[in-house]
Structure 1
Amino acid sequence: MTKRHVRLPVEAEEGLQAFLEGVDQRLSDPAEDTCAVVTETLVDLFGDRDAYDRWQAGESVSPAERVRLQGYDPCNATLESEYYAEKDEDVFQESKYLQWLWRQFDATPMADNVEFALRFRRMLADHLFADCGDNCRFFKGISMTYGHNIEVGDNVVVHDDVHLDDRGKLTIGDRVSISDGVHVYSHDHDIVDQTEVVNYHTVIEDDARVTYDAVVQAGYEVGENAVVGSRAVVKDDIPAHHIAVGTPARSVKVKPGWESVARPVEEDHEDRKAEREIPHELPDDFERFDEFQRDLQPPGHADTDAADD
Structure 2
Amino acid sequence: MAYTLLAIGPENAAADRAWLKNPKIGRVMRQPSSAVAGKRFGSRVFGIGIDSLLLALRTLRPGIKGPYLANNPWIGAALRVTGRKNFVVTGIYAEPTSRSWRVLRRLLGDALVIALSESEVGPWNAAGGRANAVLYGNTFSYPAKCASQMFHVFVGGSSDRSPEAIRALEEEVLTSNSPVRLTLATGELASEKVSGENVVSRPGPLNQRDFGALMSTASIVFLPLLDGTRAAGHMVLVGAAESGIPVAVTPSRGMAEYVVDPAVSLCDADGPLLPQLQAISLSRMEQAASIRRLWNDTFSLDAYVARVCSLLRS
TM value normalised by structure 2: 0.25
Q: Which structure is higher in RCO with an 8 Å CA cutoff and minimum separation 6? A: 2
